[in-house]
Amino acid sequence: MPQLWLIGGTQESRQLVQQLVQAFPLAPSSAPTCIVTVTTEPARSLYPPSRQLVVEVGQLTPDQADRWLRAKAITAILDLSHPFATAISQLAIALAQRHQLPYLRYERAPVERPVTPWRDRQQRPGLVRVPNLPTLLTPEYLARDRTLLTLGYRQLAVFAPWQSRATLFARILPSPIALKTALDCGFTPNRLIALRPPISAELETALWRHWQITQVVAKASGHPGGQDHKQILAADLGVRLLQIQRPAIAYPAQTDDLDTALQFALRYCG
């Protein structure tokens, strides 16, 4: 049975799948017409059950991708992965081009620069847009601050050599692998907090104040990623926000309208 491959793992992908399931036929014998891929087991439970929907957990590698595509009878690709999940997007684009499959990338709209710029408590520019993560790994950015990292556990390894030269804190997901990775990278328990977004402004404020944070490192992940809330809170507390910009990828087709993505999904789910 032909299937749409929907690359999930984001808040928008869950919203779209919920709408998609509601539009599916109600016949109990309906065969799967959409396969959703996510990278962690807890993410599987976030998608609604449906006879026409299959959720697979794991990371697709280039070596297995072509074989997997044929085995699943994929006829179109809808990419709703995280803005910083570049590897899976690049793999999906290559597969779509090689197999001549329709491809659509949904990417959340960027958050605009705040109308009113602010200065931090040291009178530095409050919002600093950084092109990539390696740019931050200098004494200029890390040596004299109390820095909160909100990048996810996979990015913490690059900060391990800085544990003796900087005061680093991290907010991670409440999962065993995230906690183990953070501890292995030198973060002590008193400099870690495990929370699953969304996080209320009150809790975020209390955390920054408790740790006496002077700067926060975050991704330009858009509104669902809390980018706008971090800008507001940083301005209110006089904290410097180091915002890592999204990687530049040339998508063959792209939209920031979720309804357009839904119509694409419906077209290729029959």
Residue 118 lies in a domain: no
Give a yes or no: residue 122 inside a domain.
Answer: no
Q: What is the CATH number of the domain that holds 56?
A: 3.40.50.720
The whole-number pLDDT of residue 114 equals 66
Say if residue 175 is in the same domain as residue 223: yes
Does 117 reside within a domain? no
Residues 240 and 259 in one domain: no
Q: Are residues 162 and 262 in the same domain?
A: no
Q: What is the count of structural domains for the chain?
A: 2
Instruction: Locate 40 and state its tokens.
Output: 């962690």
Least Cα distance to 155 among 176, 172, 139 occurs for 172
Is pTM beyond 0.75? Reply is yes
Instruction: Identify whether residues 151 and 239 lie together within a single domain.
Output: yes
Instruction: Indicate whether 119 belongs to any domain.
Output: no
| 114 assigned to some structural domain | no
Asked whether residue 102 falls in the same domain as residue 177, the answer is no
Any domain includes 195: yes
Same domain, 182 and 143: yes
- Whether 57 and 99 share a structural domain: yes
Q: What is the pLDDT along the chain (270 residues), one digit of tens a residue?
A: 679 999 998 889 999 999 998 887 654 556 678 999 998 888 888 898 888 889 999 888 999 999 999 999 999 999 999 888 899 999 999 999 999 999 999 988 877 666 588 999 999 999 999 999 999 999 999 999 999 999 989 899 999 999 999 999 999 989 899 999 999 999 999 999 999 877 888 999 999 999 999 999 999 877 655 678 888 999 999 999 999 998 889 999 999 999 999 999 999 986
97 and 168 in a single domain? The answer is no
247 close to 221: Cβ distance less than 8 angstroms: no
| Residues facing 261 on adjacent strands | none
Euclidean distance between the first and the last CA atom of the chain, given in angstroms as a whole number: 11
Instruction: Note whether residue 221 is domain-resident.
Output: yes
- For residues 166 and 67, what is the distance between their CA atoms, to the nearest angstrom? 46
CA 124 to chain centre: 28
**Strand 74-79 versus strand 103-106 pairing type:** parallel
Do 240 and 252 lie in a common domain? Answer: no
Q: At what angle do helices 86-99 and 62-71 cross, to 10 degrees?
A: 50
The residue type found at 159 is F
In a domain, 116, yes or no: no
- Say if residue 258 is in the same domain as residue 179: no
* Residue range of the domain that includes 57: 3-109+248-268
Do residue 177 and residue 235 come from a single domain? yes
Same domain, 137 and 201: yes
Strand order through the sheet with 34-38: 53-57, 34-38, 3-7, 74-79, 103-106, 254-255
CATH number of the CATH domain containing 156: 3.40.50.1980
Report the pLDDT value the prediction gives residue 75, as an integer from 0 to 100: 94
